[in-house]
Amino acid sequence: MHLQAVELIESEAAKCESERLRLGIAGEVIQGSFFEWAADSHESFDAVVGNPPYVRYQFVDEMDRALAEQQIGNLDLILRGVSNLWIPFAILSIEKLRVGGCFSLVLPSELFCTSSGGQFRKYLLEKFSSLEIDLFPRGTFSEILQDVVVVSGKRVSRTAAVRPVRFTDHADGTRQSWKHKVAVCSDSWTRFLLTEDELAAFIEAKSLPGFHSLGNMAKIEVAIVTGANKFFTITDSEVEDFKLHPWAVPLLAKTVDSPGVVFSESDFERACGKGSRSWLLDFSAERPPVNGRGRVSEYLKIGLEQGLQDRYKCRIREPWYRVPHIKQGGLMLTKRAHHFHRLLLNSAGVYTTDTIYRGVMNPLYEKRETDLVATFQNTLTLLSTEIEGRTYGGGVLELVPSEVARLSVPLVETNGLINQIDEISRMVDGQQDSSHSVMVVTDKFLCEIVPGYAQLLPRLDAARKRLQSKRQSS
């Protein structure tokens, strides 16, 4: 055996060299940049092992970045939107394997769901077989702040449309393995964190009568982008102080102010009373002009003093303080969630900014908002948020509009269910409820009216819990 190791930092390289000597392995530790070494080395290897650096591009040495991009380009790969060094590092190192050679790399678990990770997933599936993903609870590798997985595989020459991938979870000192057939494409791998049985239940449940893709039922989109939320969204007392009434329209800034699933006028009053940012400034052409109107000019001057006129979103509009596309939707959906996403009924006619999506029913389902909202918090829908959404660590689950459109939601006759759901949601403080009281009642309702849901529920529940606990421990 002959080892070649590359490490940038002298003291780290020295540690590696002393381990090499202690273990009596022939070879050398090269102190320098991997990207320089990779550009000069034309050898192939039988094995690659490593723990590449996770460094955001903005902190990467210019020379390393240029070398990484050039070598990736030589492979006919274009890395779109890649902002972290681990992707070119991993690809260029395993590219050095000869056919039949194996690798094992410690990589950030973001490779499962981010779109830049998608290019790496596709590359892996194209060129490697015997793929194995080992999952570890946070803290398994001391000093690594990020959540990591160990990815291993064997270089092959033949292509395939689908490859089997084995997943092994090493949680709590136990070991649970499962295998999935994974299509060679860049789709998210989050669903493969489920066992075969759980994933089969998810796929079957999605086609139960009454369940549909949310995108077919409603159009949910990014709401108002102000460019400076702190300036354009204000409290009741700021409206009063600066006499901004002619330009203030009602706003729900944070879903924590909506304990129920129906956001009512009295919820709005309550939010105003507790000093939430409950008003949005609308300086559209249809509103009274601002010039020479007392205190509004003073308020705009504060924005000028903060240099808002030069901020990207403000600078591209005329005048800089005229926020465009001010409209509301009958539906509101949280963009990010700690425990679970919520779909709310907008009974107070409020507007939202970019942290709460706005939605309207598609023409075919007009006036069915109540049915959609009443049953949204069920196990299958919340499982689909975990599968379709993305997480950047810290436990937060984010959905972008294309992912929202793929959520699996029920649309059934709910009669008076909304009142019961709204009441329970208020009793448990809405989104703060980690015991999922609303979901339990919704599931019970769906079990009675959707044939097949009750049989699948235990597996869907296990699947949802598995993904939620993985996300929350990250």
Ligand X SMILES: C[S@@+](CC[C@H](N)C(=O)[O-])C[C@H]1O[C@@H](n2cnc3c(N)ncnc32)[C@H](O)[C@@H]1O
- Shortest Cβ 12–ligand X spacing (Å): 4
Q: Which is nearer to ligand X, 148 or 326 (CB)?
A: 148
Q: Which is nearer to ligand X, 3 or 462 (CB)?
A: 3
Candidates 3-11, 108-116, 308-316, 366-374: pick the segment binding ligand X (CB under 6 A).
Answer: 3-11
Q: How far apart are CA 457 and CA 257, in angstroms?
A: 31
Place of tokens 């050679």: 101
Candidates 5-13, 114-122, 308-316, 392-400: pick the segment binding ligand X (CB under 6 A).
Answer: 5-13
- Shortest Cβ 121–ligand X spacing (Å): 20
DSSP structure class, residue 288: P
Q: Where are the alpha helices (DSSP H) in 25-135?
A: 34-40, 62-74, 86-94, 115-127
- What's the one-letter identity of residue 322? R
Q: Which is nearer to ligand X, 63 or 75 (CB)?
A: 63
Hey, which residues between 94 and 113 contact ligand X (CB under 6 A)? none
- Shortest Cβ 105–ligand X spacing (Å): 10
DSSP H or E stretch at residue 271: helix 265-273
Q: How far apart are CA 270 and CA 71, in angstroms?
A: 59
Q: Which is nearer to ligand X, 7 or 443 (CB)?
A: 7
Hey, which residues between 52 and 81 contact ligand X (CB under 6 A)? 53, 64
- Shortest Cβ 32–ligand X spacing (Å): 7
Task: Give the contact letters, 198-237, x = binds to ligand X (CB under 6 A), - = no.
Answer: ----------------------------------------
The two structure tokens encoding residue 326: 């001010």
Q: How far apart are CA 12 and CA 112, in angstroms?
A: 29
Q: What strands lie across the sheet with 390-391, from one edge to the other?
A: 336-337, 397-398, 390-391
The two structure tokens encoding residue 103: 């690798």
Q: How far apart are CA 326 and CA 287, in angstroms?
A: 12
* 6 touches ligand X by CB under 6 A: yes
* 136 touches ligand X by CB under 6 A: no
Q: Which is nearer to ligand X, 35 or 128 (CB)?
A: 35
Q: Which is nearer to ligand X, 6 or 374 (CB)?
A: 6
Place of tokens 């789709």: 187
- Shortest Cβ 350–ligand X spacing (Å): 46
Q: How far apart are CA 379 and CA 458, in angstroms?
A: 10
- Shortest Cβ 438–ligand X spacing (Å): 42
Our CA dihedral for 401, 406, 412, 418, rounded to 10 degrees, sits at -40
Contact residue for ligand X among 2, 4, 12, 19 (CB under 6 A)? 12
- Shortest Cβ 74–ligand X spacing (Å): 18
Contact residue for ligand X among 9, 23, 161, 364 (CB under 6 A)? 9
Confirm if 295 and 247 have CB atoms less than 8 A apart: no
Q: Which is nearer to ligand X, 105 or 323 (CB)?
A: 105
Q: Pick from 130, 167, 161, 162: which is nearest to 149 by CA?
A: 167
- Shortest Cβ 30–ligand X spacing (Å): 9
- Shortest Cβ 162–ligand X spacing (Å): 32
Query: In whole angstroms, how large is the CA radius of gyration of the chain?
Result: 27
- How far, CA to CA in Å, does 146 sit from each of 55, 108, 119, 197, 467? 11, 6, 20, 29, 17
Candidates 7-15, 389-397, 429-437, 449-457: pick the segment binding ligand X (CB under 6 A).
Answer: 7-15
Q: Which is nearer to ligand X, 33 or 355 (CB)?
A: 33
- Shortest Cβ 144–ligand X spacing (Å): 7
Q: Pick from 340, 454, 386, 406: which is nearest to 192 by CA?
A: 386
Instruction: Kindly state the number of chain residues that form the binding site for ligand X, as judged by CB under 6 A.
Output: 11
Q: Which is nearer to ligand X, 33 or 229 (CB)?
A: 33
What's the distance, Cα to Cα, between the start and end of the chain in Å?
38
- Shortest Cβ 137–ligand X spacing (Å): 18
Q: Which is nearer to ligand X, 51 or 420 (CB)?
A: 51
Hey, which residues between 15 and 54 contact ligand X (CB under 6 A)? 33-35, 51, 53
Confirm if 156 and 127 have CB atoms less than 8 A apart: yes
Strands (DSSP E) contained in 339-467 are 343-346, 356-361, 390-391, 397-398, 408-410
Candidates 2-10, 211-219, 299-307, 360-368: pick the segment binding ligand X (CB under 6 A).
Answer: 2-10
Confirm if 210 and 411 have CB atoms less than 8 A apart: yes
Q: Which is nearer to ligand X, 72 or 239 (CB)?
A: 72
Q: Which residues bind ligand X (CB under 6 A)?
A: 6-9, 12, 33-35, 51, 53, 64
